[in-house]
Amino acid sequence: MGPLPYDLRPLMVFGACRDHTGVVDQGDLLAAVELQAQLGSAVRLVEAGALTENEIREDLILIGGNSLTGSVLERLDGVLSLGFAENGSSVYDRKSGFAASPRYDDAGEPRVDYGLVIRAANPFAPETAEVVVVAGCGSHGTAAAAEAFDQAEALGGYRHFEALVETTVFRGSHRDTFVREARGIA
């Protein structure tokens, strides 16, 4: 039997590191490893800038703040009540007005970080594909968002949802991750 004519594995999409070195961000890598373990299936890895018009209409897993994540969040703007501030420095809740910003110690080291987990119909192909977004204000928030993806009880058991995730950072590692708010979306 030959290979399938169409690869059904979801696309896991990365962007370049936030400091523009071309290296993938550490939090994005941790998120990818975590999601791969949770999904238990193979994915196709691709850089956001290398996607074709057809590929953006497939099942997507968007890791971190890349160009496609921004486009997807823009297209879901009327659906979501959680989102990132324009510069990505905080997560805001349109319903309550709450803004969650990372906190740092006196030396400038992160102590608390936030992330978003979203599962929705892919806005580029809403009838046929889904999109998962795990992204954070910082690297720790992105990795924590991926960990929270499989917390079905905390996420309310919704098929499509948005969730604000909070994590404590201690000695350069995130710990004590929890879902602060989860809502079903249409």
User: DSSP secondary structure string, 59-124?
Assistant: -EEEESS-HHHHHHHHHTTTT-SEEE-TTSS-EEETTT--EE--EE-TTS-EEEEEEEEEEEE-TT
**What are the structure tokens assigned to 125, written together?**
């192909």
**Coil, strand or helix at 140:** helix
Task: State how far the Cα of 107 lies from the Cα of 111, in Å rounded to an integer.
Answer: 11
**Could you give the dihedral angle defined by the CA atoms of residues 42, 46, 52 and 55, in that order, rounded to the nearest 10 degrees?**
30
Task: State how far the Cα of 32 lies from the Cα of 54, in Å rounded to an integer.
Answer: 22
Nearest CA among 46, 84, 38 for reference residue 65 = 84
Work out the angle between the directed axes of helices 26-39 and 139-148 (0-180°, nearest 10): 10
pLDDT in tens, the chain (186 residues): 444 334 667 888 887 555 555 556 778 878 888 888 888 777 888 888 888 999 999 999 999 988 899 999 999 988 999 999 877 789 999 999 999 999 999 999 999 999 999 999 999 999 999 999 999 999 999 999 999 988 877 788 888 999 999 999 998 888 899 999 999 998
